[in-house]
């Protein structure tokens, strides 16, 4: 509901359930449709991920493009 209020901003969305194809090995198997839009700029797809060398659960996110480029 907030997306329409901020049309000039790209979206970072947390949705951790209710989808068929979670990313695997930091690659999307299929671009998900989250609600009524395709994958946003950043998608947090898990809040209980594991990263070697980090104790405890971590959030896992994926992006469809570089967010650190100097063009942005």
pLDDT (tens, 9 = 90+) of the chain, 72 residues, equals 666 777 777 777 777 776 666 676 666 666 665 556 555 667 888 888 888 999 999 998 887 666 665 555
Q: Which residue matches tokens 């671009």?
A: 31
Q: What is the C-alpha to C-alpha distance for residues 70 and 24, in angstroms, rounded to an integer?
A: 28
Q: Give this prediction's pTM.
A: 0.60
């Amino acid at each position: 509901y907030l997306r329409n209020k901020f049309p000039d901003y790209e979206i970072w969305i947390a949705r951790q359930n209710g989808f068929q194809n979670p990313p695997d090995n930091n690659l999307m198997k299929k671009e998900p449709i989250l609600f009524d839009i395709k994958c946003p700029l950043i998608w947090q797809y898990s809040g209980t991920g594991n990263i070697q060398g980090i104790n405890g659960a971590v959030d896992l996110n994926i992006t469809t493009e570089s967010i650190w480029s100097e063009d942005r």
